[in-house]
Amino acid sequence: MLKTPIIPAVSRNRPDSLPGNPSDISIGCLHRCIADSGIRLLLLASLGLLQSCASYGDHATTMRDGLLSGMPAVSLSIEEQADPDEKEVLPSLEKGMLRRMTNDYTGSNQIFEVAKKKIEELYGISVTENLASVTVNDTLRSYEGDRHEQLLLHAYMAMNYIDLGQIDGARVEMLQASVKMREWGDEPEEDAFLRYLEGIIYENMGEQDNALISYRKAYTVYKEKGGQQYPVAPALIKKDLLRMLKVMGLKSEYESYAKEFGLLSYKPPGPDKAYGELVVILNNGLAPVKGEASVYIFSSEVQQNLRVAFPVYRQRKKTLNIPSVEVDDRSYAMETVEDVDTLARYSLQKAMPMIMVRATARAVVKYNTQHTAQNQGSLAGFLMTVTNLVTERADTRSWTTLPQEIELQRIRLPVGEHKVQIKMMNAAGHAVDVISEEVVIRPDTSSFIIKHWIAPVPKVAVKAVKVSASKSVNDTNSTL
């Protein structure tokens, strides 16, 4: 039997990573607070809720349909019309990503900045929102994003700065993300891809010591959480870590890692003015979408089976097309550096205990409010029964324009012009789409190609962005 617990107080370092825990208000206190006004609150909230849920669900579905049809500009138009005020976190995240997909990197960062500032404001959730979430449902709380979404916000702002040729701005985003991870305190959250990207950015700015620290952290996360929250450690990060250890002259640590990686015969490339680097990042597919499920839970407080709704991921992880990079008649397999699908499912699993605590407390409040209404007359009781049914909704909000996975490859190339193709291969080994690019490789310079692939789209040749780099990286034998 589940006994309805006391709802814990708000904490900045909250463990559930969802938008705010309810205030420290006992169920008994809530009963007294809503004795006179609870019916009115639920009735009014249900009307607004039904309207908002319908409108958000409709445009969210249409928005994703546009992406799945290879038309991000159509999806952006839908999102822009749905949220003209640009004040809320989730619409700002969606619009920021859609602007990025349509190559508006400046506009993308402008709206991402709105989301970032709003997230900071939401660390202190209001008592009104907490009361509404306990009496109606979780969707009445402002959405601030799961932890992995908050970190990826910084990653995509950094990618926008890279595409704009503003590497300093990308560095600032990495610093802000690092501060956020430290602020989470007793449950520190390290994102493997973010640390890897951080290392690449530091290396491009000539900060080799910081790059080494970031590569170490990235590898540690892949090693400790690979196969659970993250992919197994990519071969790329292992070779980057060894290469940077050699640059820094840390022979003992180099030998230790080389033995651990089984790369004792690996010879990291040294400085060579005849070579530069190409970094390819591919955002592959779309993140999973939450659905709603419900169960009946027995409450000892009211001696009743009460219906509670909660979010679920119903669909299994999709099989993605496999990307490869072709340059100068050579093919390089891209490696998965971030599995957003797995992170999203892990985040929901971790948050589920607190979600069920709130849902059970909410069900008790609704039951008692319904009982009070029935005592006031049959019509009031009927209306409250209907209201409770339609307002018991799970919070299925999430950043739906994130990719399912992020793939990466770093290729050492001779100085000069190169034609690059990113081929999307299906399970049968046939190319379903080809992204064609041209890039100029210069000494001590990294060129970035950062793309999103969801469905085939009309091809538009776009020059890769060049930023200053300290050294070129991986040897040509790193992938095949």
What would the pLDDT profile of 92-131 be if each residue is shown by its tens digit? 999 999 999 999 999 999 999 999 999 988 876 644 444 4
Position with higher pLDDT, 136 vs 284: 284
pLDDT score recorded for residue 186: 55
Position 466 pLDDT exceeds 60: no
- Position 388 pLDDT exceeds 80: no
Q: How confident is the model at residue 29 (pLDDT cuts 50, 70, 90)?
A: very low
| Mean local confidence (pLDDT), 144-171 | 97
Residue 409 has pLDDT above 50, yes or no: yes
Burial of 28 (0-12, 13-18, 19+ CB in 10 A): exposed
The residue to which tokens 């499920």 are assigned: 293
Comparing 303 with 167, the larger pLDDT belongs to 167
**DSSP secondary structure letter of residue 251:** H
What gap in Å lies between CA 154 and CA 115, rounded to an integer? 11
CA–CA separation, 149 vs 33, rounded Å? Answer: 35
Phi and psi torsions of 413, nearest 5°:
-130, 150
- 78-92, 142-156, 162-176, 310-324: the lowest-pLDDT one: 78-92
Asked if the model's pLDDT at residue 80 lies above 80, the reply is yes
Shortest CA distance to 409 belongs to which of 234, 206, 227, 186? 234
| pLDDT for residue 189 | 74
457 pLDDT tier (thresholds 50, 70, 90)? low
Assess whether pLDDT exceeds 70 at residue 183.
Answer: yes
CA distance 30 to 36: 11
**Confidence band, pLDDT 50/70/90 cuts, at residue 14:** very low
pLDDT band at 9 (very low <50, low <70, confident <90, very high): very low
* pLDDT higher than threshold 50 for residue 54: no
pLDDT tens digits, 286-297: 999 998 898 888
Measured CA to CA in angstroms, residue 88 lies from 107, 115, 122 at distances of 16, 7, 11
Q: C-alpha 277: how far from its chain's center? A: 28
Question: DSSP string spanning 146-173?
Answer: -HHHHHHHHHHHHHHHHHTT-HHHHHHH
% of the chain at pLDDT higher than 70: 73
| pLDDT (average), residues 168-176 | 98
Residues comprising the chain, all counted: 480
Greatest alpha-carbon span in the chain = 86
pLDDT band at 185 (very low <50, low <70, confident <90, very high): low
What local confidence, expressed as pLDDT, does residue 188 receive?
Answer: 61
Q: Give the pLDDT mean for 335-348.
A: 96
Structure confidence at residue 389 as a pLDDT band (50, 70, 90): low
Question: Which residue, among 347, 323, 319, 316, has the nearest Cα to 337 in the 3D structure?
Answer: 323
The better pLDDT of the pair 394, 178 is held by 178
Range of lowest pLDDT (186-195, 212-221, 361-370, 400-409): 361-370
The pLDDT of residue 427 is 87
Q: Which residue has the higher pLDDT, 79 or 463?
A: 79
- Looking at residue 179, its pLDDT comes to 92
Q: How many CB atoms lie within 10 A of CB 29?
A: 13
Contact (Cβ atoms closer than 8 angstroms) between residue 454 and residue 478? no
Q: Which range scores top for mean pLDDT: 1-15, 125-139, 184-198?
A: 184-198
Q: Which of 193, 197, 199 is nearest to 214 (CA)?
A: 199
Whole-number average pLDDT of the chain: 80
Q: Tell me: pLDDT of 356 over 70.
A: yes
Tokens 């309207």: give the residue: 51
Higher-confidence position of 363 and 242: 242
Residue, of 44 and 354, whose pLDDT is higher: 354
What span, in angstroms and rounded, lies between the C-alpha atoms of 118 and 363?
30
pLDDT mean over 260-265:
96
Q: What is the pLDDT of residue 314?
A: 83
